[in-house]
């Protein structure tokens, strides 16, 4: 008879778009003790599953909650996903990757509810931050961004190896407003300290007050994120150099996907015009997720045509389109 699942250490890994959450969780799995069983719950913003495939390609058990942020699906779908994953895996530890455009407070509230009180043990919440995002006033003063900062127990400045001096100064200025017992760390390539998983939560932590929007400053505190989900059949292959140039030409986009190329299949992870590629196991089709601000239908058509121009080969006639 199986034992009752109780008090599973649970960790929320959050951060704005492009902060490096998926890579951070993969890094933690590389440090996982051999005798422990871990699982991941991930929230996809788009319609095509990408993060789930990434974790599966690394042999990680994952459950996906599609569409938007977990705070918007914190009711039955959230409970069902968590319970199903715990029953299926019976993990020693659960890591949750929240959406980069989702408010974490709703997720925390759900996980702290009565029906989870004996099942999971919510540990310190880790927030990853790309310091360069602090130079964008639309993001810095956005309620979503502020909510992620205000609910964190451990704040990790990531990508410090490529951060500008101005961005690191902005990060230092941000910390000047920290009057709580918040743990601060800096890292590159999403390298994580596994000891952080032993930290307990700091109840009621608030590191910075909500920024009041000044009249006439033109900042949209409810940023209008748009998503484009594209799929390409197995016979469509991409040119790596062309994709890199396309990313560079579209610095405003967050790009994540799994793509087929002539010399293998790759995970593409791009932000602010910089693309990173990681070779992965065989995939059946290419899936690409684009996220940006204020993208209209004309923009979507242009972006799709530009990506199609990066294709180099089709073993079947061109009638097999997206």
pLDDT band for position 180 (50/70/90)?
A: low
Q: Determine the Cα–Cα distance for residues 198 and 180; give it in Å rounded to an integer.
A: 19
pLDDT at 294: 78
Q: Is the pLDDT of residue 222 over 60?
A: no
Task: Specify the pTM.
Answer: 0.83
pLDDT at 157: 96
Q: Is the pLDDT of residue 98 over 80?
A: yes
Tell me the average pLDDT across 169-191.
85
Q: Is the pLDDT of residue 319 over 50?
A: no
Each domain of the chain, given as residue ranges in start order, spans 8-198, 225-314
Q: Is the pLDDT of residue 149 over 70?
A: yes
Angle, alpha carbons 280-102-304 (nearest 5°):
55
Range with the poorest average pLDDT among 11-20, 118-127, 166-175, 215-224:
215-224
| Range 225-314 classified under CATH 3.30.499.10 | no
pLDDT band for position 212 (50/70/90)?
A: very low
Range with the poorest average pLDDT among 72-86, 117-131, 257-271:
72-86
CATH class of the domain whose range is 8-198: alpha beta
């Amino acid at each position: 008879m199986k034992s009752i699942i109780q008090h599973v250490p649970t960790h929320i890994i959050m951060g704005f778009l492009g902060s490096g959450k998926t890579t951070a969780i993969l890094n933690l799995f590389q440090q996982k003790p051999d005798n422990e069983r871990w699982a991941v719950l991930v929230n996809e913003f788009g319609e095509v599953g990408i993060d789930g495939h990434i974790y599966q390609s690394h042999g990680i058990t994952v459950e996906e909650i599609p569409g938007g942020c977990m705070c918007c699906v914190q009711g039955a779908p959230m409970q069902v996903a968590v319970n199903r994953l715990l029953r299926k895996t019976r993990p020693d530890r659960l890591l949750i990757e929240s959406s980069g455009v989702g408010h974490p407070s709703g997720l925390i509230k759900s996980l702290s509810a009565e029906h989870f009180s004996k099942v999971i043990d919510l540990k310190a919440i880790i927030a990853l931050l790309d310091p360069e995002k602090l130079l964008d006033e639309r993001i810095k003063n956005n309620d979503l961004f502020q909510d992620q900062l205000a609910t964190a127990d451990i704040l990790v400045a990531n990508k410090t190896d490529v951060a500008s001096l101005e961005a690191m100064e902005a990060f230092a200025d941000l910390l000047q407003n920290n009057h709580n017992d918040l743990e601060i760390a800096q890292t590159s390539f999403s390298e994580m300290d596994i000891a952080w998983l032993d930290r307990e939560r700091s109840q009621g932590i608030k590191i910075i007050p909500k920024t009041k929007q000044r009249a006439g400053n033109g900042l949209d505190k409810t940023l209008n994120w748009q998503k484009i989900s594209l799929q390409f059949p197995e016979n469509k292959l991409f040119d790596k150099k062309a994709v890199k140039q396309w990313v560079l030409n579209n610095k405003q986009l967050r790009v994540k996907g799994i793509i087929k190329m002539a010399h293998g299949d790759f995970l593409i992870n791009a932000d602010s015009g910089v693309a990173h590629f990681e070779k992965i196991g065989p995939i059946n089709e290419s899936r690409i997720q684009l996220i940006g601000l204020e993208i209209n239908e004309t923009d979507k058509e242009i972006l799709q045509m530009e990506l199609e121009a990066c294709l180099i080969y089709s073993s079947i006639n061109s009638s097999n389109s997206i």
